[in-house]
Chain A
Amino acid sequence: MSRIKIDPITRIEGHLALEVEVQDSKVKDAWASGTLFRGFEIILKGRDPRDAYHITQRICGVCPTSHAHASSLCLEDAVGIHPPDTGRLVRNVVEGAQFLHSHILWFYHLAALDFVDVVSALQAKPKEQYLKNVQARLKKFVESGQLGPFANAYWGHPAYKLPPDLNLLAVAHYLEAIDKQAQASHISAIFGGRMPMTMTTPAGGSVHIPTVDDIANMLPRLLELREWVENVFIPDVLAVAPYYLDYAGIGKGPANFLSWGVFDDPSFETTNRLMPSGVVMGGSLAAQEVDQQTVTEDVTHGWYKDGEALHPSVGVTEPEFTEWDVENKYTWAKAPRYGEQPMETGALARMVVAYAKGHETATKLINDTLAALGVSGKPEVLFSVVGRIAARALETKIIADATVAWAQQILENLKNGNKATFTGYTMPDHAQGTGLWEAPRGALAHWNQIEGGRLANYQVITPTCWNISPRDGKGIQGPIEEALIGTPVEDPKRPLEILRVAHSFDPCLACTVHVIDPSSNEVYEVRVA
């Protein structure tokens, strides 16, 4: 029996440490620690409710758009308005391009290096001039002796399975994808002013009034990106997956899935969203509707004073750094639960919920993929590392198609003189609102309470709060902790397999740890275990 501590976990957003107990070359137990504390909710207290749109975006620079929109939905719920149709479409385009950016970045730049051996690509024997050029570029880079971001990784690890030719292709597409993720953000910026930190879609709709010029600037970029997703991204995933089919049985987790739904249709019902809201429990593939009232947060194993698990709208949180002790308190993350159960969120959760609800496109894409991988009729293999990767790629296609359609619909609206983008409102003295939405990496909820026209309270539960959750008061592990159990570890000094499981959730730690209470705003002594 041995303990492995991986700190820092890289190729994620933010600061995460993992500790695992290994027995007989398999993970027997795991603990996930968020190691940075900021404090957004209390910063928001007493402020103008409209400012939350800008401040909550700084919770996460990877998915600011999602926080922006959750915040706008939250205030719109409090004041009782919806944006006009063109405003809704502008928001969908900004968010859609943000999802494309995030999923491409995640696959190629954060996760792929767990499966692609960059050094092995030098052994490839490419016939295509394009790939020969990439290989020459790579060779020159390696021979420079300055490996930069590729230095000191687990190259040559026996768990890398791809042949050199496929490794080279993946490296080529890694480089291409750097441009593609940027291009996706440029699309968001055409309407949003800039990315990261979009500017134009606060409560009410869009303050940017789209023009035909915008669409002319946007559509070619969008169509090129969609073509790339179809012709490069999806084929890459399907090319790599067969070499790692054992990871269709690794990294399962609790198989409870939560989606608040994302991308509104004209009804503004979460059940009618492009990716609909819903819950699937215990891998049953029977969807239930969501009920946000059943959400609680538990602090038994977080660096907070112990208290009852409460709904976030009435939650009380007092930070108290004691010591880093996995048997007791070991993280700045709290443990959110839905009906007392840990929930996985993210693209897999959205795709599973959509599949369970009979979403036409999602169902077809999933069934086709299962067939391509030779496992037709066994959707339960999706509850795995391979499933998370496939789900993100397939969702990227759904969103790329939809974003093109939304941009075209805006053009139609402009032609028809339907230019209204913003619904005005008066700030109420007392109100409360809920904003349920999805970031690329999962379910995102904002709650606000307005008193005297100012924010009396603001609470956020982010996707990674769910996924990176520590154990709760009953000792039930969070999804990543549970998913790690059973993962093979060939070489404890180079725990590549653990990274694969952790990265499959696309963790984002800045999002996770952000709660504090002003009454305990003092220095705590630390003893590092």
Chain B
Amino acid sequence: MSDVFRRPNNSSVTQSLNTFRNASITAGRNFFRTRLGVPPLREEEFPGVPNFSRRDFMKLCATTAALLGLGAAGIPRIADALVTAAGQRPSVVWLNFASDTGCTEALIKATYPNAAQLILEILSLDYNETIMAAAGTQAEEILAEALERGDYILIIEGAIPTKKGYGMIARREMIDIGKEFADKAKAVIAVGSCATWGGVPAGDPNPAGLKGVREALGVQAINLDLCPVNEGILVATIVDFLLTQRVPELDGHGRPKIFYGQTIHDQCERRGHFNAGRFVERFGSKEEELGYCLYKMGCKGPDTYANCSKFRYNDRVSWCIGAGAPCIGCGEPGWVDKFAGFYERLPGVKVPGLEGVAAGADKIGIAAGVATAAGIAAHAIVTAKKRRPTKEPPSEKSDVSPDT
């Protein structure tokens, strides 16, 4: 130990400590007033739900209702469910297996409700190794208690190693822990690609023999694909289950249809450009700046079922295609191999004007390439006629179809 620190009552240290402490309190208070999203107004507190102002609470309910497609009529039902739940918060056990913790990271990006409200006041997140205070034996005790109560929703992040020794927690095989806890759970939610089908580490040749929750544990998990899971989908699915006490309608891959019912392509804000044959040909190009379709840069949106364009990510600031990146298809089972060559064109996509014809990538490339050049020429003419710069890309009326 350093001798220099054997002065716990050093007056200058104490003095500077007090200065810092006071500064910190003041800063914290002042800062609190300017921050967004957390209710400072106690008099408006919503009865029955701790630490929510009415404004915040209604915003939460409206957001969640919108996520669930219930509209304004659904708000009272959600409100009732959460108020009831607030008395005894629903227990969540979150097991992390062969993962990179990206889905826990996604969870803590939640904005409405934010992660603190979600895990401390709406739910009782009884086990999550990334954030829980207890470790070792004390963590194991929490797990054992939860298993005995058997009243939890089980969330599994990460794939499940099927080779002995490849994944262990507290000297036990992950697959054994998973089976034990899935058996007693009220519902099992598999979050992210790894948990739904194995994910990136299960990419060919799947060296660790990883499997998804349904396959490895033989349970009908609710599969929330995407890598990582969209925080909005995760929160909405949990709330939906609490509200209805039943599993939502699922598609053939075990995904809630409400979130995974349509392709990214069909819901894409750049779809108009695709229809008009306006494509990005080169990263960093004028077409990229204009927000043209990324199909030719390898976008997998036409084959990927998820609602990313609707929910977006991170306080809804952006999403992949919105930021100019071609979709890599991370919402689809097997995407790591199925879509390998993420910047290569997706074959077999039908383009407008070629109805009923499954055009190969090269064919589309040629057709669309001509169309893009023509589209830009048309744009130039339109702009010149108006004699003013336009921020908008050429309107759909002035486009040239890919089949011309």
Contact = CB atoms under 8 A, between A and B. Distances in A.
Interface stretch (A234-242, A272-280, A284-292, A465-473): A234-242
Interface in A122-178: 128-131, 133, 137, 140-141, 144, 146, 148-154, 165-166, 169, 172-173, 175-176, 178
B168 A149 contact: no
B324 A197 contact: no
Interface stretch (A352-360, A373-381, A405-413): A373-381
B29 A321 contact: no
Given A375-B4, A381-B5, A189 B313 contact: yes
A107 to B, nearest CB: 14
Contacts of B207: 38-39, 42-43, 516, 518, 521
A186 interface: yes
B51 to A, nearest CB: 5
A188 B4 CA distance: 41
Nearest to A227: B31
A140 B42 CA distance: 15
A521 B205 contact: yes
Interface string A184-222: 011011111111110110001111110000000100000
B121 interface: yes
Interface in B78-112: 88-89, 91, 96-106, 108-111
B73 interface: no
B71 interface: no
B194 to A, nearest CB: 8
Interface in A448-490: none
B36 to A, nearest CB: 9
B228 A61 contact: yes
B354 interface: no
A61 B21 contact: no
A297 B220 CA distance: 43
A518 B205 contact: yes
A145 B38 CA distance: 24
A283 interface: no
A154 B137 CA distance: 11
Contacts of A189: 313-315, 317-318, 323
Interface stretch (A6-14, A258-266, A333-341, A430-438): A6-14
A209 B284 contact: yes
Contact of A152 (B4, B142, B199): B142
B242 interface: no
B131 A36 contact: no
Interface string A76-111: 000000001001000000000000000001000110
A146 B170 contact: no
Interface in A4-60: 5-15, 17, 35-40, 42-43, 47-48, 50-51, 54-55, 58-60
A38 B170 contact: no
B250 interface: no
B239 interface: no
B289 interface: yes
Interface stretch (A308-316, A391-399, A418-426): A418-426
A133 B51 CA distance: 9
Contacts of B12: 374
A129 B33 CA distance: 12
B20 A238 contact: yes
A325 interface: no
A77 to B, nearest CB: 19
A1 interface: no
B404 interface: no
Interface string B7-28: 1101011101100110111011
A238 B31 CA distance: 19
Nearest to B285: A422
A186 B97 CA distance: 26
A270 interface: no
B105 A196 contact: yes
A403 interface: no
Given A246-B5, A526-B165, A197 B102 contact: yes
A148 B132 CA distance: 8
A164 B200 CA distance: 46
Contacts of A62: 100-102, 105
Given A11-B135, A303-B165, A231 B23 contact: yes
A371 to B, nearest CB: 9
B362 interface: no
Nearest to B1: A249
A40 B201 contact: yes
B315 A205 contact: no
Contact of A207 (B110, B169, B203, B288): B288
Nearest to A374: B13
A11 B42 CA distance: 32
A424 B283 contact: yes
B70 interface: no
Contacts of A326: none
Contacts of A188: 314
B175 to A, nearest CB: 12
Interface of B: 1-2, 4-5, 7-8, 10, 12-14, 16-17, 20-21, 23-25, 27-29, 31-32, 34-35, 37-38, 42, 50-51, 88-89, 91, 96-106, 108-111, 114-116, 119-121, 123-126, 128-139, 141-142, 161, 163-171, 174, 199-201, 203-205, 207-210, 227-228, 282-284, 288-289, 297, 313-315, 317-325, 328, 330, 336, 340-344
16 contacts: A36-B161, A43-B207, A48-B343, A84-B284, A131-B28, A131-B29, A133-B42, A140-B50, A149-B119, A151-B132, A185-B314, A231-B28, A232-B27, A235-B23, A249-B2, A493-B137
Given A35-B167, A235-B27, 19 more contacts: A13-B100, A36-B161, A43-B204, A51-B340, A129-B29, A144-B89, A149-B132, A149-B133, A151-B133, A176-B35, A186-B315, A189-B317, A189-B323, A190-B318, A191-B323, A196-B105, A303-B165, A375-B4, A516-B208
What are the nearest 8 A-B pairs in CB distance?
A61-B102, A422-B284, A39-B207, A249-B1, A193-B323, A231-B27, A153-B133, A199-B325
Interface of A: 5-15, 17, 35-40, 42-43, 47-48, 50-51, 54-55, 58-62, 64, 84, 87, 105, 109-110, 113, 118, 128-131, 133, 137, 140-141, 144, 146, 148-154, 165-166, 169, 172-173, 175-176, 178-179, 181-183, 185-186, 188-197, 199-200, 204-209, 217, 224, 227-228, 231-232, 235-236, 238-239, 242, 245-246, 248-250, 303, 321, 324, 372-375, 378, 381, 384, 419-424, 493-495, 499, 510, 514, 516, 518, 521, 523-526, 528
